[in-house]
Structure 1
Amino acid sequence: MRILLIVGWLFVGLGGAIFHFGPGQKHLEVDQVNLVLNDARDCVANEQWGEAVELFDAVLADLPSEKVAESRGVLLEKAKCQMMAAKLPEARSTLEGLLDDVRKDESADKHFVADVQSALANSQYYMTWLMRLEGMPEEEWKPEIEAARQHYTQLTNDAEELGDEELLKRSAEDLESAVRLARMDLSELQGLPLPSQ
């Protein structure tokens, strides 16, 4: 009986070692990714945008390829931080790629798609604001604000279909702001504070 107990304990230890060095490594990797992700979100809460972008990049590099939805969510968070870190062109490029990706995926959550589209439209809106302040000609900034206006219009329509009152209100206000920005005289624009993101 004593020998059976000893052999049983040996198998338990062997099983634990096999799990630790086999599938357990995957769990350790996921735990490590979650720690870095929490650090990135702490940086966002403390408005340390540049550091947050770097940490989100580290998370994206280590996330398993099968975690598609999680990767997209982290990519969206990264793009929003890029906007706050004065990296609008990079954020816009990231968001354009992400929007293309989620639009092709019929299983993607509609609210997430709307969030990505809203972030892209916002990046285009802020880009237009800066281009106008820098004195760029209309033919350069006009396509940017027109793209933002189209996104806001589509978001308003999508919000009605989804029955999302908050998205509908925000999109309608954003659409109105985009139209105002396109029509505003440069002297009026220069007298206004930069919009908050």
Structure 2
Amino acid sequence: MKKNLLIFLWALAPVALLAYHFGPGQAGLAREEARASIRAALNFEAGQQWQQAIDAYNDALAALPETETAKRQQLQLARANARIYVGELPEAMLSMEHLLDETAKGSDSELESKVRSSLASAQYYTGWLMRLELAEKEEWKEPLEKARQNFRLLAEQTDKTDAKASEDHQKNLEAVVRLARMDLSEVQALPLPKKCQGNKNVCSKCRGQKKSNKPKDMKKKEDARGASVGKRPDGKGS
């Protein structure tokens, strides 16, 4: 039962998102070059040629006008998912986090949900691999807790509108909880998802990301403290 719940999560892939938006009969892209690159990327994905797919997505994004915000975000999501297959899971997860911030400010709730679902899956994979790399509990629990929160939100959002999607998100939520509760020996006995097999040094990459972001966060806190206290007195009387 545990294995089935965990495997269910791996099946989530937003490849169909591009097939829908950029397939025959849909509104054309501003440039034929971008259209050709997207077709090439989808063909590379079908052949599991992930680096070539990433390169094709890069070409499409370079050709697509900045005004095509929604289409660019769809391409960025597809590229991020492809990066997981070439050993860039932490980098892909970070890209998805930024993309979720962007889509949350827009009006396309369907795209936002797809980004959130992909991000939750990436967080799940990250927690899994961090456990296999013998990270401290507080380290691997962080991405799993974020995955749990995202899948729970998705399940709640679709509860009244899409029963099947809500059920799927609930199953993924249960998979995250099960993974967090498993003994390490049980995790080590599970077959590694194909999407994760090329990823190494996930712990060190995640630590590096947190370290690189820390100065910016600290500066914001310092700026906030400075703004709250105002100018320091110069010690001179009136």
Q: Same fold (TM over 0.5)?
A: yes
Q: Distance in 2 between matches of 1:98 and 1:38?
A: 22
Q: 1:83/1:28 Cα in 2 relative to 1: closer, same or farther (>3 Å)?
A: closer
Q: 1:31 Cα deviation (Å)?
A: 0.7
Q: Is the 8 A contact 2:29 2:35 kept in 1?
A: no
The Cα offsets for residues 32-75 of structure 1, whole Å up to 9 and x where unpaired, read as 11111110110011111111111111111221011111101111
Q: Displaced runs of 4+ in structure 1, greater than 4 A?
A: none
Q: 1:186 aligns with which of 157, 171, 184?
A: 184
Deviations 1:130-183 (A, max 9, x none): 00001111011111100000001001011114x122321210111000000111
The structure with more radius of gyration: 1
Q: 1 CA distance for matches of 2:185 and 2:92?
A: 28
* Contact kept? 2:29, 2:64, Cα under 8 Å: no
CA distance change for structure 1 residues 156 and 29 in 2, over 3 Å: closer, same or farther? closer
Matches of 1:139 and 1:155, distance apart in 2 = 25
Post-superposition shift, 1:194? Answer: 1.2
Q: Which amino acid aligns with 1:184?
A: M
Q: Distance in 1 between matches of 2:96 and 2:29?
A: 30
Q: Give the helix-richer structure, 1 or 2.
A: 1
Q: Tell me what 1:115 maps to.
A: 114
- Structure 2 equivalent of residue 172 of structure 1: 170
TM-score (norm 1): 0.81
Q: Percent identity?
A: 38
Instruction: Give CA-to-partner distance per residue, 1:99-135, whole Å, 9 cap, x none.
Output: 0001011x22x22111100000000000011000011
* CA distance 1:28–1:144, change in 2 (3 Å): closer
Counterpart AA for 1:59: A
Whole-Å separation in 2 of the counterparts to 1:99 and 1:50: 23
Question: Aligned runs of 1:23-34 on 2, under 5 Å?
Answer: 30-34=31-35
How far, CA to CA, are the matches of 1:44 and 1:115 in structure 2? 18
SS at match of 2:152: helix
Letter matched to residue 159 of structure 1: T
Q: Which residue of 1 aligns with 2:86?
A: 85
Q: CA RMSD in A?
A: 1.6
| Number of matched pairs | 168
Counterpart AA for 2:138: E
The 5 Å alignment of 1:121-160 reads 121-160=120-159
Task: Give the match for residue 73 of structure 2.
Answer: 72
Could you tell me how far apart the structure 1 residues matched to 2:157 and 2:100 are?
15
- TM-superposed CA distance for 1:85, in Å, is 2.1
Provide the secondary structure at the position in 1 that maps to 2:87: coil
Alpha-carbon offset, residue 196 of structure 1? 5.0
Higher RCO (CA < 8 A, seq sep 6+): 2
Q: One-letter code of the match for 2:75?
A: V
Letter paired with 1:178: V
CA distance in 1, matches of 2:105, 2:41: 28
Q: Which residue of 2 aligns with 1:61?
A: 62
**Are the aligned partners of 2:33 and 2:60 in contact in 1 as well (CA < 8 Å)?**
no
